[in-house]
Each structure stands twice: as C-alpha cells, then as structure tokens.
Amino acid sequence: MFRQRSAMVGHMELLVNRQGLRLDLTDKALSIVMRKPDWQVTMLNHKTKSYFQSTLVGWQPAASMNAVLVRPDDPSGLTVQNCSPDKLDEIPVLVYQMRGVNNRGKKDKFSRIQIKSGTIWVLDDSNLPAQVGEKLNHFIGAPPLHGLTVRFVILNNKGQRKEEVRLIATESKVVNDSILKVPQGYTKAAKQADIFKDNCTSDVLDGLFHE
C-alpha cells in the first residue's frame, strides 16, 4: 500500500494486489476500485453510502477534467524525454524524465509558473493494463502514463520545485478481497456526478482541489 499526498486531491491511500486496486481519497471519503477480469471502475462515496460503476473505457476521470480549467501549471502537456528502471523503497518503478514549456526570460506570471520539467516514478507492474494507469493518473492530475504514479516532482520556469504527488510511506498489507467489492447497504447512483454530492453540502467536488 502507498500512502501519498496529491496536490490536486489531497491525501490518498493506493492499494494494489493481484486481484485489482483501490484508491482511497482519505480527506474526501471517496474511493475508486478496479478489479479483474474486466477492470470495471467502481466509485464509492462513503458519506452517502452510494456507488457508481462504469467500464474502464467509458470512465471519464471528472476530477482532473475540472482541475485543468483552473490550473496554469497543468502537467498534462509534459512530454517524455527518457525512461529508466529503478527502485523506490525496494519497489520496482519506472522513472520518467519529462519536459514542458521553457519560458525562460519571459516575465509574465503565467509563463513563469508553467512547468519546465518533471520527474515521475510509476509502478512497474505488468499485471495492470495500460489504460488503468492512464485513467487514474489523469484523475489525480499526473501525466497519463501507463503505470500508476508513486511520486511526481515538477520544476516551473521560476526555478521552483514542487511535489505534485508526494510518497509518504509504503506498507505491505494483507487484505480481504471484500475491499475490492461494493459494501453492503450502498445504493447505486444513476450518474457519476451524483457520487461527488453529499447530504451536508451541495457538492464535495468543489472542495476536491482546495484545502
């Protein structure tokens, strides 16, 4: 299990095993579950005890689609320069060196905070279909690479370094298969947008990207 913090969605716990994966957004009481054989996507809202399901192909990672609209330092435009195998806490990863837009010399604020370069560590796991990594990375605001993001560091044109995804800790954990299933008593939502709503506020999605 990976304990992480994303600049986009807050604290996360990512569990990966041979049967599938589960991403818990611990600050928001939301979870995303994918499991073999078809890697169907299940989104859970633990406040409202509701869930939404979609095929992997049809799933639209709404979080990052909304975030891109308000982010001048959007990392989706980064391009891969090279990739090399490595280990992070003894876990096999692939390290990608990424390049963005070099606006050195430009003085406007927008150009200076755009991303110049980035380094991203993704899980090297052949058990996971490429699209699983692409979709989840898109959801948490990381480049849509094939592997699951473990750590992600960027450098902007002002020379400022920022951890977009920080790895807090790793842990080997034996879990019951039920963690990849819909809990009893949860009701099915008609559409994905309903998962981001709760009974106390009109929309928790508004708070998904703000502390």
68 pLDDT band, cuts 50/70/90, is very low
Residue with tokens 């039920």: 178
Residue 109 has pLDDT above 60, yes or no: no
Prediction pTM value: 0.83
User: Edge-to-edge strand order for the sheet containing 30-35?
Assistant: 79-88, 91-99, 115-123, 149-156, 161-170, 2-6, 10-17, 20-25, 30-35, 40-45, 50-54, 187-188
Residue 211 has pLDDT above 50, yes or no: no
| Rounded distance between C-alpha atoms, residue 183 and residue 141, angstroms | 28
Mean pLDDT of 21-37: 94
Q: What residue spans define the domains of the chain?
A: 2-207
65-74, 80-89, 95-104: least confident range: 65-74
| Rounded distance between C-alpha atoms, residue 122 and residue 159, angstroms | 24
Q: Is the peptide bond before 72 cis (omega within 30 degrees of 0)?
A: no
Strands 149-156 and 161-170: antiparallel
Cα–Cα nearest to 195, from 36, 38, 41, 74: 41
* 12 Cα distance to chain centroid: 9
